[in-house]
């Protein structure tokens, strides 16, 4: 089957490669000419414009957008629409907010095209192990694209599914990432407690490996953690500074909108915010209060 | 190798069976005569008293205690000591608080015996998949017992390890369970958000299965969750009531003692406490305050 | 000075009365004819339509809107605009989201009118003790309205202020309510811990009164709590069910948007959400997981 | 009435002064000779040993201990016991853990003396405004000491009370401090959100003062905060580093022991722990995980 891919970054490029290995034909575009050249070199077809990409696909076309969430998605859709024909399908495989997805679906559909959302998990390991795909949108285009999903997924019958109407794919991916935040924070706290118990002199790398088999916390995240600790057991050079990519905070505000209490996912986000607050204002406010009522010594910076 | 096991509950019995299948000889005791009879019936030896158990093991003996944490452990040790000989080893495989373990180790050692702690994870699946074993204690008895650990573990080289001096095994197991609390809460919150998003009509069972392959949250816990949802997709008959077994709260207080901030593990425990508070007093206090300052309608029960 | 008030509920009516007692003239409208009649009876003027209200005020008019946040504010503005003259001022004294306020300010101003936002705190006690007023908007109308603010506030120089441009008043009121959530939850938790310590048989009402003088936690909220406990020391008839009015959740999402970690205000909101979740789905998900890995007894409902 | 005071620090000295102003006679001891000299200079009697202190009091004696919680209390009691006579009373006015208080009460009582616990709040402001006193212990000595409590308290009938048996006073004070942690954190978060909202350019000092009158959050803590911001509106020289004195963490662990969920008090403590974690290990663990699964750039320190 043919697939256009716009956006050949870490994720997009590897997906093209996985599709090629499964016998599909990918036409890819990226502003980065090295990426398109490399795509051609690996046996797919890299092109230098969206026009060229559209031209090189037979109808009904399927074009996968793998660009940063937000304006780039809208801009790409705007570029595509004049070039497309009725029945063509755009798939947004990025981390878009599901509300934008639902809006885009309606706008694109009004013009006679299909719009499918696909939450894509798997990171840099997806090429080898397959991507987990959470798909939302209308039945017809999703069914038509089944061979693509089967090739990208870990297997034809596993790790992917059509989870609901437009937006459902990105909604489920958003929640997936919220859970991921919570799991990461839980593991990180546990390792932090262990490293602080100095008299026991625990070897975190050893423990991570032990837990990989037979324990209740065994997980892919733990496998990766064990591997990372093998290379850097003392966390040298890592900064205590954690970004958040949008999906965590969307999960938190969505939970509030739905009147669902989600303290652990929320706290995981809050701790990421905290990691980036320098000379924490809240703590300094508490310091000034303590000084005011107790005459407590205020530690000067 | 020979091993005595005291306590043939869900865990102890299955461990005996796994050892037998690996070619070891188990002598087991439990107050429950059905359990000891069943042990004999399966090819190990069930006995009717601690005395008999000790008598049936050749020296240096290794006796694994698998009884509820707390007084039962001390009582079992007290029963064993007069019957044991120098060089014999007691292994506490239960969920003991590591501080009690360190005290017991010192007391037992003063009498010439060995005391090893083994945090044991794996639940009802351990018989088939092996147990994750986190072992603390002196080098000599741990090394001597290696064949036992290798047989109980998922494999001879995986899922087990000697993590440190006395108490280290139970300490690491305690933290393991703290992490487990956090992971469970993170998953549960995510599924809760998804079920509340009614317009998308998401199928939680389908999503759990999708995530099993390729996703970042793939884990044994998710595998089990998917299996459980297969059988009961609507959580029928389950009560919103969650016990906690001790290790979660020990992790939380240990973190505080170590001056380590662990909000997610802590909040996971707090939510379990909350699940068991009926007619929540805190919420009613807030109700009375709202009524007092705002004349807000107080919802009567 | 003259002031029109639209919305004569608990807050609006009492504000009219406080203004009257300070020598101002209030013209008030409400859909509830009992309220307008009562307003006239108390010496102000109650009218039966927005038109009548506008007609009874001399220019430049000042019209205070005290209606539920959201659409009612927009609808009231839409009704007023055709009747107003350049230089007239609308004051939104309700709990509007500051983003809506900023939008309304710009829209209203484009038509030649002024729009002032006034966060108003004080609840049912405001009539007697004065209202805390956090005012946002352009300098000119705020200065012109100073006599009104001085009369509503606890005193001419206390408890009110022009805190910034349009939206600032509602922003500060929003944060005020967020803090209020945190304080209430802190007190409620403390009282909850004390009532649970059964062997000490503590008298919460006595303790609330002790703390009113000399303690670090003395506060108006505590005064009200002590008074409420006098009347209902056992929280009889109160339900463990706490609504939230919007400002708490806005504070939480605003904090996230600003990348500020605010765990306590956030958790206070989350606990209110939790209080309204019946047959908690999250807890039942944890139950099903515990059953799956540990064979733990699942408490049936 | 006569009172011995051991420990003439910030709290003890001011209490002696407040008692003197109310017509009582204080005999005070401290290792710091400046403090005892100053006590004599202000009209009370400073002495140079515990022996001298006991000798200068007529029976039945009342001796108030105002020393750091922990061993110093036990050491002071041990010094006093050989010098005391049946019917004498020790009052522990410090921040002792209530469990130690109950133990001490029983030990002291077995020797024929009384032991009263008095949780004391008010900080450096107590001299002028009176102390909030939460008293635990046997009825007889508490009643006998009533004039002392009435003089220390804000008034004879306010701000103090006998709240229960031995330990109750320190228990209630412990919870008081837990609530105080929550209130401080709630205020600090609110101010932090406001300072981060740069386009509004809010003046935190002005807002603190506005809220002092008429608002729901008005409180002594806010009064102090407003005063402190007057002197240092930009928090210059304050470090984002907050100690905790014991009572907060005791409240948290007590809540857990009582199976009471207290997320806000707990989180307030956790944030203090967090403020003191340098090069946060948990955040660095999350960084290493993100790098492992996503190839996310790891920010190097």
DSSP one-letter code for B160: E
In SS3 terms, D156-216 reads as CCECEEEEECCCHHHHHHHHHHHHHHHHHHHHHHHHHHHHHCHHHCCCHHHHHHHHCCCCC
Question: What's the pLDDT tens digit per position in C156-165?
Answer: 999 999 999 9
Tens of pLDDT along chain B (301 residues) come to: 999 999 999 899 999 999 999 999 999 999 999 999 999 999 999 999 999 999 999 999 999 999 999 999 999 999 999 999 999 999 999 999 999 999 999 999 999 999 999 999 988 899 999 999 999 999 999 999 999 999 999 999 999 999 999 999 999 999 999 999 999 999 999 999 999 999 999 999 999 999 999 999 999 999 999 999 999 999 999 999 999 989 999 999 999 999 999 999 999 999 999 999 999 999 999 999 999 987 765 665 5
The predicted structure's pLDDT at residue C122: 87
| H runs (alpha helix) in chain D | 10-21, 33-41, 50-55, 71-80, 98-110, 126-129, 139-144, 146-152, 168-196, 204-211, 220-231, 247-257, 263-275, 281-294
> B293 in contact with C at a CB cutoff of 8 Å?
yes
Q: Three-state SS for D90?
A: strand
Q: What angle do helix axes C247-257 and A263-275 make, rounded to 10 degrees? A: 40
Spatial separation of the C-alpha atoms in residues C35 and D18, rounded to whole Å: 54
Please spell the DSSP secondary structure of chain A, one letter per residue: -EEEEE--SHHHHHHHHHHHHTT-EEEEE-S-HHHHHHHHHTTSEEESSHHHHHHTSPSSPEEEE-S-SSHHHHHHHHHHGGG--TT-EEEE-S---HHHHHHHHHHHHHTT-EEEEEEEE-GGGHHHH--EEEEES-HHHHHHTHHHHHHHSSBTTBSEEEEESTTHHHHHHHHHHHHHHHHHHHHHHHHHHHHH-GGG---HHHHHHHHTTTSTT-BHHHHHHHHHHHH-TT-TTB-S-----SHHHHHHHHHHHTT---HHHHHHHHHHHHHT-TT-HHHHHHHHHHHHHH-PPPPB-
Give all strands of the β-sheet with B114-121 in edge-to-edge order: B45-47, B25-29, B2-6, B62-65, B89-92, B114-121, B132-136, B160-164
Tokens of B265: 């593990």
Q: Tokens 């005395």, residue?
A: B51
Spatial separation of the C-alpha atoms in residues B276 and B130, rounded to whole Å: 33
A155 interaction partners in chain B (CB closer than 8 Å): 213
Spatial separation of the C-alpha atoms in residues D179 and C123, rounded to whole Å: 23
Tokens of D69: 């919680």
> D217 in contact with A at a CB cutoff of 8 Å?
no
Torsion of CA B13, B16, B17, B20, to 10 degrees: -160
Closest partner CB to D273 (pick from B259, B276, B293): B259
Tell me how far CA of residue C258 lies from CA of A255, B297, C42, C251, C266, in angstroms: 19, 33, 46, 10, 14
Spatial separation of the C-alpha atoms in residues D194 and C176, rounded to whole Å: 10
B286 interaction partners in chain C (CB closer than 8 Å): 184-185, 188, 242, 272, 275
Closest partner CB to B266 (pick from D259, D266, D281): D266
**Rg value, chain D, Cα:** 23
d(CA C274, nearest CA chain D) in Å: 12
> B37 in contact with C at a CB cutoff of 8 Å?
no
Question: What's the pLDDT tens digit per position in D143-187?
Answer: 999 999 999 999 999 999 999 999 999 999 999 999 999 999 999
Closest partner CB to B288 (pick from C192, C228, C274): C228
The catalytically annotated residue of B38, B173, B247, B254 is B173
Could you tell me whether strands A25-29 and B25-29 are parallel, antiparallel, or unpaired per DSSP bridges? unpaired
d(CA C59, nearest CA chain B) in Å: 34
Cα angle: B107, vertex B111, B115; to 5 degrees: 60
Spatial separation of the C-alpha atoms in residues C186 and A64, rounded to whole Å: 50
> B270 in contact with D at a CB cutoff of 8 Å?
yes
A261 interaction partners in chain C (CB closer than 8 Å): 270-271, 273-274, 277, 282
| H runs (alpha helix) in chain B | 10-21, 33-41, 50-55, 71-80, 98-110, 126-129, 139-144, 146-152, 168-196, 204-211, 220-231, 247-257, 263-275, 281-294
Give residue A123's Cα distance to chain centre. Answer: 7
Beta bridge partner(s), residue A115 = A90
Interface probe with B: pick from A117, A130, A186, most Cβ of B within 10 Å: A186
Minimal CA–CA distance to B252: which of B240, B243, B264, B237?
B264
The catalytically annotated residue of C51, C52, C81, C180 is C180
d(CA A220, nearest CA chain D) in Å: 9
Interface probe with D: pick from A190, A191, A243, A284, most Cβ of D within 10 Å: A284
Spatial separation of the C-alpha atoms in residues D14 and B119, rounded to whole Å: 53
The predicted structure's pLDDT at residue A61: 98
If you count residue pairs, one on A and one on D, with CB atoms under 8 Å apart, how many are there? Answer: 184
Minimal CA–CA distance to D215: which of A289, A292, C20, C180?
C180
Instruction: Find the residue in C nearest to A271 (Cα).
Output: C261
If you count residue pairs, one on A and one on B, with CB atoms under 8 Å apart, how many are there? Answer: 291
Q: What is the pTM of this model?
A: 0.96
Residue numbers of C between 233 and 262 with CB closer than 8 Å to B:
235, 237-243
Give all strands of the β-sheet with D160-164 in edge-to-edge order: D45-47, D25-29, D2-6, D62-65, D89-92, D114-121, D132-136, D160-164
Could you tell me whether strands A132-136 and A114-121 are parallel, antiparallel, or unpaired per DSSP bridges? antiparallel
Beta bridge partner(s), residue A119 = A134
Residue numbers of A between 60 and 79 with CB closer than 8 Å to B:
none
The predicted structure's pLDDT at residue B185: 98
D292 interaction partners in chain A (CB closer than 8 Å): 224-225, 227-228
Spatial separation of the C-alpha atoms in residues A44 and A35, rounded to whole Å: 11
The catalytically annotated residue of B51, B52, B81, B180 is B180
Chains near C (3 or more Cβ pairs under 8 Å): A, B, D
CB count in 10 Å sphere of residue D114? 25
Closest partner CB to C279 (pick from B185, B240, B291): B240
Closest partner CB to B295 (pick from C124, C293, C301): C124
Instruction: Find the residue in B nearest to C275 (Cα).
Output: B283
> A270 in contact with C at a CB cutoff of 8 Å?
yes
| Whether the predicted pLDDT of D298 surpasses 70 | no
d(CA D202, nearest CA chain B) in Å: 27
Interface probe with C: pick from A270, A277, A290, A293, most Cβ of C within 10 Å: A270
| Residue numbers in chain A where pLDDT is lower than 50 | none
Tens of pLDDT along chain C (301 residues) come to: 999 999 999 899 999 999 999 999 999 999 999 999 999 999 999 999 999 999 999 999 999 999 999 999 999 999 999 999 999 999 999 999 999 999 999 999 999 999 999 999 988 899 999 999 999 999 999 999 999 999 999 999 999 999 999 999 999 999 999 999 999 999 999 999 999 999 999 999 999 999 999 999 999 999 999 999 999 999 999 999 999 989 999 999 999 999 999 999 999 999 999 999 999 999 999 999 999 987 765 665 5
Residue B143 appears among annotated catalytic residues: no
d(CA B261, nearest CA chain D) in Å: 5
> B183 in contact with A at a CB cutoff of 8 Å?
yes
Spatial separation of the C-alpha atoms in residues B68 and B12, rounded to whole Å: 11
Contact criterion met (CB below 8 Å) for D149 and D155: no
Tell me how far CA of residue A230 lies from CA of A125, A216, D299, in angstroms: 18, 21, 19
Test A276 with C259 for CB contact under 8 angstroms: yes
Enumerate the active-site residues of D.
173, 180
Which residues neighbour B252 within 8 Å (Cβ) at sequence distance 6 or greater?
B178, B262, B265, B266, B269, D256
Closest partner CB to C237 (pick from B125, B272, B301): B301
Backbone phi, psi, residue B42, to 5° = -90, 0
A154 interaction partners in chain B (CB closer than 8 Å): 213-214
Percentage of residues in chain D with pLDDT exceeding 90?
95
The predicted structure's pLDDT at residue C199: 97
Instruction: Find the residue in B nearest to A163 (Cα).
Output: B202
Test B273 with D261 for CB contact under 8 angstroms: yes
Test C267 with A263 for CB contact under 8 angstroms: yes
d(CA C206, nearest CA chain A) in Å: 24
Tokens of A122: 């798997």
Question: What's the pLDDT tens digit per position in D15-61?
Answer: 999 999 999 999 999 999 999 999 999 999 999 999 999 999 999 99
The predicted structure's pLDDT at residue D97: 98
CB count in 10 Å sphere of residue C245? 16
Contact criterion met (CB below 8 Å) for B131 and B153: yes
Residue numbers of B between 117 and 146 with CB closer than 8 Å to A:
121-123, 126, 129-134, 136
The catalytically annotated residue of A38, A173, A247, A254 is A173
Question: What's the pLDDT tens digit per position in B210-220?
Answer: 999 999 999 99
Test C263 with A270 for CB contact under 8 angstroms: yes
C276 interaction partners in chain A (CB closer than 8 Å): 259
Tell me how far CA of residue A243 lies from CA of A271, A273, B16, in angstroms: 10, 8, 48
The catalytically annotated residue of A51, A52, A107, A180 is A180
Cα angle: A256, vertex A259, A264; to 5 degrees: 60
> C266 in contact with A at a CB cutoff of 8 Å?
yes
Test D189 with C121 for CB contact under 8 angstroms: no
Instruction: Find the residue in C nearest to A252 (Cα).
Output: C253
Residue A180 appears among annotated catalytic residues: yes
């Amino acid at each position: 089957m043919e697939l256009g891919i716009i956006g050949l970054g870490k994720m997009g490029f590897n997906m093209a490669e996985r599709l090629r290995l499964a016998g599909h034909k990918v036409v890819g575009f990226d502003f980065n000419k090295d990426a398109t050249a490399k795509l051609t070199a690996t046996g797919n077809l890299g092109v230098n414009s969206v026009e060229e990409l559209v031209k090189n696909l037979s109808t009904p076309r399927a074009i996968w957008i793998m660009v940063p969430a937000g304006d780039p998605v809208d801009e790409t859709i705007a570029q595509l629409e004049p070039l497309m024909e009725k029945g063509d399908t755009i798939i947004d495989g990025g981390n878009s907010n599901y509300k934008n997805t639902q809006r885009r679906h309606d706008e694109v559909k009004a013009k006679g095209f299909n719009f499918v959302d696909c939450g894509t998990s798997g990171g840099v390991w997806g090429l080898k192990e397959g991507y987990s795909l959470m798909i939302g949108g209308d039945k017809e285009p999703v069914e038509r694209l089944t061979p693509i999903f089967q090739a990208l997924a870990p297997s034809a019958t596993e790790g992917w599914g059509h989870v609901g109407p437009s937006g459902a794919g990105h909604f489920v991916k958003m929640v997936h990432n919220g859970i991921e935040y919570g799991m990461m924070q839980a593991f990180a706290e546990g390792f932090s407690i262990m490293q602080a118990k100095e008299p026991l002199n625990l070897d975190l790398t050893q423990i991570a490996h032990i837990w990989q088999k037979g324990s209740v916390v065994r997980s892919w995240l733990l496998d990766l953690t064990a591997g990372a600790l093998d290379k850097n057991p003392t966390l040298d050079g890592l900064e205590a500074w954690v970004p958040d990519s949008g999906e965590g905070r969307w999960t938190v505000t969505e939970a509030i909108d739905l009147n669902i209490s989600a303290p652990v996912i929320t706290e995981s986000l809050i701790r990421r915010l905290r990691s980036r607050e320098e000379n924490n204002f809240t703590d300094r406010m508490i310091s000034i209060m303590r000084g005011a009522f107790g005459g407590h010594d205020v530690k000067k910076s």
